[in-house]
A and B are shown apart, each in its own frame.
Chain A
Amino acid sequence: MKKVAIPVTAALLCMMLFLNGCAGTPEEKETARGPKQVNAEVLELAKQVLAVVKIELAERDEPLDLPGYERIEGPRKKGVPIELTGVFVEGGQYVLVPDYGIPLDDFGKVTVHTYDGREYEAEPHSYFMDASAMLLKVSLGENDEPPPSVVFEEIDPFRFGDSYLVAQLLEEDTVMRVAVTGGSVRYQSAEGEEEAGHFGFGQLGALVLNPDGKPVGFAVSARMWDAPQGRTSWRGAQLLRSQRISCEEMKEMLDSLAETVKKSVIKLEFTYRDEDSGPSSRYDEYGSKPEELFGLVVDQKGTVFVPQDIDEASVKCIDEIAFRDKDGERHVGAFVGLSKNFGGFVVRFDEMPPVPAVRISPADGMLKGRPFVSAHIVEKRGETAVLTQFNRIEEAKRIEKSRYNTDPASREDAGWSLNARLAAAMGDLALTTDGGLVAFISGIKYPDASKTGDDDWRYRRYSPDYGDTARYILCSRIADTLAGAEDCFEEDVKPKTKREGKKVVWLGVEYQGMNKDLAEMMGVKGPTNSGEKGLFVIHVYPDSPAAKLGLKKGDILLEVIPEGKIDQKKELRASGTHSGYGRYGPSWRDRRNYLTTLLTNIGKETEIELRYVQDKSEKTAKITLELSPPDFETAEKYKDEVLGLTVKNLTYEVRFFAKLNPGDNALVVDKTESGRPMQVALYTKRFLVPERFLIRKINDVEVRDVRHYKTLMKQFREQKRESLTFVVEHMGVSMVMEVKPDWSEGE
C-alpha cells in the first residue's frame, strides 16, 4: 500500500481548502462560538502541540527485501528523512505519530520540530496494538521544558453528518505551516473500532477536533482511494489507554515469529521437461516455470503447501519437485494439486525428514483493526530469511465466489477479502502475534472469470489484483485443500508425462481445406463463403464423436461455437493439409492438426455447437468435446535396450493407414537404433525401412501390445534365447527375420 502519496496530496489539497476555511452548519454557527473564533483557538493549539517528525534512516548494507520497501529505501538513497506529522502527548514526553511501517532497524536519528522552531530528539518507544500508531519518546535534558501536549477530550463520538476539524503541521521549504480543514462525517464506524469514525477525505497524522475546537482524537490511517472521497480513521482518548507494546518487545516478537516460521519453511526446487506441452492457449506458451518457490510444511505426513500460484502450462511440464534438508540430502516430492479457488498448490513428500509443521490458527476471521504479523519469505545468499512486520487489517470484505454468475447459489462467499496496511506480495503470510498462521496473500480464482477473445480457453484467473488490494486467504477455510482433497484442485492440472501432455481433443475426422472450385462443385458456395471457410471431411474414424454424430465423407464443417457463446465462434478454415509422407515413404498423418488444436484449445468437456453441411443442407449439432483415444504420439511405448528399438501400441489412425482389420494385433516400431540387433537384422534382409513398420509376431506368437511384448521379452530372457524370429510388416508386405538379442543390455 502506498501511503506515501497520501500525505503529499493531502497536503496539496489541504492548501486549497485552507483558503476556504472550514464548513459548519448554519445552526452550529449560531449556537457555537463563531467559526472565526474557533479557528483562531484551533490554530493556536495546533501551533503548540503539533509536530513534524523527521526520521533519518539508518544505513543498511543492502535494502530489505520487503514488498513496498521502496518508500523507505527511496528517501534513504536520496539522503532525505521520512517526514511524519504527529502530536505531543502525555505531558510532552511522547510524540504520537502514525505507524508508517518503518522497520525498527531503519530508525536513525529522529528529530521533532515544532511550529515555533523548537527541535527535540526522540526515539521509537512503543506501538499501539489496536491502532496504527506509535509513540516516540522525546529526549529531554534535565533542565529542558517539556513541550506543550494535547489532552484528548472524552466526548460523545461523532454522529453521521456531524462536522469536524483536522489540524496538521507541515513544513514547506523550511517554513512551518499549520493547516486546518474540516468536513462532515460521512460514514459510521465499522465493527471493532471504538471511538473511531470515518470521515470524508482527511489526513494522516492530523489532530482531530470537534466543531467547538476541542481535540478529540488523532487520525491514524487514511485510504485515499476508497469511494467516494477517501476515508480516514482516527482514534480518540481511548487510544492512549489502550494496550501498547514496547519496541524491544516488538522486536523480540517479530524476531521470534520469524524464527518459528522459518523452521517450517522449505525451499522447493522445480525442474521442467524441456519441450512443449502440446496444444495450448497463448498464455500456456509463456508458462513462467518458476524454479524455486517456498513451501510451508503443514503436517507431519509430508504435505507442503505453497501459497503461490503456478500456471497450468508450467505444472504440466514439471519434471521434478525436490528440496534439500538441513543435512543437504535431497528429497523428491509429488505434485498433488493446484487449488481451484485461489493461488496455491500442494506438494507431498513421501519421505519427509522431521520438519516442524507450521501451526495453523483456527481463527475464522481477521477483523478490521486487528493487528497481525506479516511474514515475507526471501532467500538471501542461499539462506532462507523470514522478514516479519507488524501489520493490521484495514478492510475486511466477504468475497463472492462467482461474480459473473447470476445463479444465487454460486454467490456464496469464498472467504474474506482483507486489505492490510502494509504492502505485501503474493505468498506473504499473516500470523497472529503468538505465531499461528492465519492467512496468506493470494488471489481469488473465479470459475467463470472473464474470457476474452479466442485465446482465453481455460485461463480463468484472478479477480484483477489492482494495486493495493492484495487478498488474504484464511487458512481455516482451506483445511480441505491442505489435506489434499481432490475436489479442491483444478481438474487435470498435474505434471504430465510428455505423452500425456500431447493428448488432443478430437472429433474423429480427417479433412482437407476448402477452395472456390470445390465449394462450387459441392454446391456449398453460400455456407462456405465461396470456399473461404470450411473443412471437407475425407474420413470419419469409427467410434468417434463424428461417427456418432453421423458425419460422413463429403460433409463440410463450417463453424464451432463453444458453449453457445456466439461471440466466440470459430470459423473453420485450413490452408493446405499436411501429407503423411515420412522419411521412408508414405506414412500416417499426425493427429495434431489445425482442427484438433482448435478443439483442444476450447477444452475437453466443453459443449460446443458444430455447424456443418451435409447433403447440401446446413445442420447444427451439440457435442461435448472429449479427449481422443491414444494416437501414435501418445500411445503407450517401450524402449527395448536389448534389441535397440522402441515399440508403441497400435492406435486408430495407424490401423486405418496400415489397413488392418479390427481383430489384427501388432506393434508399431517407432524407431530402431543404428548398429543394434534389430536394425542389423533389417538391413541384412534388405528391409530398408527402419521405422514405422509393424511387428506381427515374435517366435510365432502374435504380439498384442507393449505389455505383452515386455512379458515375452522377459520370458525369452529367462529362457536364454539366442535368436528370436520376428514377422515384420510394412505396407502390406511382410518378412520373416531372425534377430539376435543382446541380453547384456537392459533389464
Chain B
Amino acid sequence: MKKGIVLVVAISLFCITLIFAQAPEVEPEGTDPASSEVKPDEIARAVAAFQEIVSEAKKKALPSLVFIKPVQERLEGGEAKRRQIYGSGVIIDREGHVITNNHVAEKTKEIRCVLFDKSEMDATVVGLDEATDLAVIKLDLSEYKGELPVATLGTSSMLSEGNFVLALGAPMGFSRSVSLGVVSNLERYFESAPYTLWIQTDAAINPGNSGGPLVNLKGEVIGINSMKIPFADNLGFAIPVDLVKDVVKKLIENAAKTGDEGKIARSWTGIKFQEMKDFSESETIKGEEGVLVGSIHPNSPASKAGLRPGDIILGVNGKKVNCIYQHELPATQRFFAALPLDKDAELTVLRGDETTKVNIVPKIRGKREGDEMECKDWGMTVREIEPLTPVFSHFRDRGVFVLGLKYKGNANKSGLQEYDIIVKLADVEINSLGEFEAEYNELIKMEKGHRKVLVEVNRFGYPRYVVVDFNKEPEEDEE
C-alpha cells in the first residue's frame, strides 16, 4: 500500500516537474493563453481522479480476498513434519469456491481461512493442478452469516504492458494488503509451468501473496499471483485469468463428477517442444513454421511413433501448428495437451526435406511429483518416481526414491542416502509406492533383534547394497 502511494506521489511530482520545466516565464500582460499547458489544480484533480479509480477497484476486489493459513505436512526431512504456511485466495462464487495456488493447497492437513470481514472458517481441497500451480478450495460456510463477497473475473486478453494493476494478498502473513504496479510484460515462460504464459508485474509480490488476485483498475481479477524471482525486486509473476478460468472450471467439474479431489486429465505425447526462432539461419531446420521436437521421452507415444529430435511438426489433424517464439510454447503445449486421449492423432512432420504423416496416440499425462510415504521405523520418507520426474526417471523409470532421512534414524545410520532409488527390499523388486508400502509393512513386523534387511538401491546410476538395521526404536523428537 505504502509503495503504491509513494508511486502515485512520485509520478505526480514527476509530471509536475516536467510541466514546470516546460512552462515559460509567466508574464502578466500580453501573455498568450495557449502557451501555458497544465495548471497545478488540474494536476491535483488528475491525481485525485486516479486515486478514486484505484479506490473503486480496491473496493470491488478486496472483499473477495481470502487469507489462507494451511497446515502442510511435508516429508522432505525424513519424517512427516507439519508447518503453518500463509497464502492468499480469491472467492469466485457463492458456494465458497476459492482459487489459490497448488503449492498453497497441496499436502495440507487443514486449511484455515480468514475473510476480509475477519470471519474465520475451515476449507477443504476441491481440486489441484500441479502443472499450472492452481487449486480450488471450498470454504466451510456452515457457520457463515451474511453474503459472501464474490470477485469478478475479467479477461487477460485485453491486457497491455503499462496497465496499472493491484496485487492483493497476505505478503509474509500481513493479510489484506494491497500493492500497486503495472504490467511489466505479458509473455513470460518457464519450463516448470508448460501451459502458462505469465504476466510479469512490478506490483509487490512476496511469499504469502501466492494464490491472491491481480486486479485491474476496474476491479476485475486478471491474474492469480504465484511467483517472484528470489532476491530480485519487483519481479513478480501472475497466472493470466483466462487460463485460470479454464483450469478452475475443469477442476470443479471433475471433482463433482468423481466425488474425489478434482484433477485435470491432459494428453501426453512425450514430446518436449522447442520454439523455431533460433533456427532461422539453420541449414537443416527451416525456422518459418511448425514447432520443433526437442526431445523424445523414452517409452512414450512419440517414441513409439518414431519421432526424433529435430523433427518439425507442421500440423495436427490437418490444423497448422506454429511456435516460432518461446512465448508461443504454452499455447502449443496446451494444444497438444488437449488432444483426445488414446485416439489417433495425425501429425504432419517435416524431417529434413521430406514431409510425412505420423500417427501418434496420446496417453494420459502423469505427474512430475509422485506420492509420498513416511517410514517411521526407518527414519525415512520416500517418494514415488513418476515418468515425468526429472533425473530419477532416467536411472529408473518406476519405484520410489529416498526423499529424506532423519539424521539419527536407522536408515541414515545404516548408510542409505537421500535420492537413493530403492530397487529391491529384501529380494522383492519395488516398482511402485504401493509395492514398497506393502513390503515395508511386512518388514516392520519382523522380530526384534533380527531386524535387518538387505536393500538394493540405485545411487546416481550405480547399484549399491545397503543392509538396513532397524532394530533400534525410532527416537522421539526432542522438543
Contact = CB atoms under 8 A, between A and B. Distances in A.
A579 B454 CA distance: 20
Given A699-B283, A700-B352, A723-B281, A735 B274 contact: yes
A403 interface: no
A734 interface: yes
Contact of A538 (B285, B292, B462): B462
A-B CB proximity, top 5 nearest: A586-B460, A517-B467, A732-B394, A734-B295, A723-B281
Contact of B283 (A589, A721, A731): A721
B272 A725 contact: no
Nearest to A516: B467
Contact of A731 (B394, B454, B459, B467): B394
B296 interface: yes
A697 interface: yes
A227 interface: no
B394 A725 contact: no
A522 B465 CA distance: 10
A512 B279 contact: no
B284 interface: yes
Nearest to B461: A657
B53 interface: no
Contacts of B272: 733-735
**Most A CB within 10 A of own CB, among B352, B465, B469:** B465
Nearest to A737: B278
Nearest to A531: B467
Contact of B285 (A517, A657, A685, A736): A736
A734 B309 contact: yes
Interface string B445-471: 000000010100001111111010100
Contacts of B285: 725, 736, 738
Interface residues of B, number: 35
Contacts of A700: 284, 310, 352
A36 interface: no
B157 interface: no
A722 interface: yes
Interface in A537-591: 538-539, 553, 579-581, 585-586, 588-589
B282 A539 contact: no
A696 interface: yes
A518 interface: yes
Interface residues of A, number: 43
Contact of A723 (B282, B294, B310, B391): B282
Contacts of B162: none
B434 interface: no
A696 B391 contact: no
Contacts of A727: 309-310
A586 B292 CA distance: 28
A725 B311 CA distance: 12
Given A520-B467, A736-B274, 20 more contacts: A510-B462, A512-B464, A517-B452, A538-B462, A538-B465, A579-B459, A586-B460, A699-B283, A699-B284, A721-B283, A723-B282, A725-B310, A727-B309, A731-B390, A731-B394, A732-B393, A735-B294, A736-B285, A738-B281, A738-B285
Given A518-B465, A518-B467, A553-B463, A586 B391 contact: yes
A736 B276 CA distance: 10
A659 interface: yes
B67 to A, nearest CB: 36
A696 B309 contact: yes
A685 B309 CA distance: 15
A659 B282 contact: no
A685 B461 CA distance: 26
A340 B393 CA distance: 55
Given A517-B469, A697-B310, A734-B296, A580 B460 contact: yes
B366 interface: no
A727 B278 CA distance: 13
B394 A589 contact: no
B189 to A, nearest CB: 11
Contacts of A621: none
25 contacts: A512-B464, A515-B467, A518-B454, A521-B454, A538-B462, A538-B464, A539-B462, A579-B459, A579-B460, A581-B460, A657-B461, A685-B278, A686-B191, A697-B310, A721-B283, A722-B281, A723-B282, A725-B285, A731-B391, A734-B296, A734-B309, A735-B272, A736-B294, A736-B309, A738-B279
Interface string B407-448: 000000010000000000000000000000000000000000
Specify which of B279, B310, B391 lies most central, judged by the most chain A CB atoms within 10 Å of its CB: B310
Interface in B294-350: 294-296, 298, 309-310
Interface in A503-532: 510, 512, 515, 517-518, 520-522
B389 to A, nearest CB: 12
Of the candidates B278, B459, B461, the one having the most CB atoms from chain A within 10 angstroms of its own CB is: B461
B279 A725 contact: yes
Contacts of A522: 454
Nearest to B419: A586
A515 B464 CA distance: 13
Contacts of B461: 580, 586, 588, 657
Interface in B249-276: 272, 274
Contacts of A725: 279, 282-285, 310
Contacts of A390: none
Contacts of A736: 274, 279, 285, 292-294, 309-310
Contact of A733 (B281, B295, B463): B295
A83 B28 CA distance: 132
A46 to B, nearest CB: 89
B286 to A, nearest CB: 11
Interface string A689-717: 00000001101100000000000000000
B285 to A, nearest CB: 6
